[in-house]
Amino acid sequence: MELKDKIIVVTGAASGIGRAMAIRFAAEGAKKIICVDLNAEGAAATAAGIGG
């Protein structure tokens, strides 16, 4: 996957598949990942965990 310089929005980023995808996108070099979830604390924790 070529994600360099891409901005990605991940819904459901607090847990499960959404969290896993956010982590994977970060590992693949995405420029910015916006983590969104009804569980705002969980989404913030995911973002913090990937350097955001």
Token pair recorded at residue 36: 């969104």
Say if residue 1's pLDDT is above 80. no
Residue 6 is inside which H or E element, if any?
A: none
| CB distance 7 to 36 below 8 Å | no
3-class state of residue 27 by DSSP = helix
2 falls in which pLDDT band (50, 70, 90)?
A: confident
pTM over 0.75: yes
- Can you give the residue ranges of every domain in the chain? 1-32
Over residues 4-48, the pLDDT tens digits come to: 999 999 999 999 999 999 999 999 999 999 999 999 999 999 999
CA angle 35, 39, 43 (to 5 degrees): 25
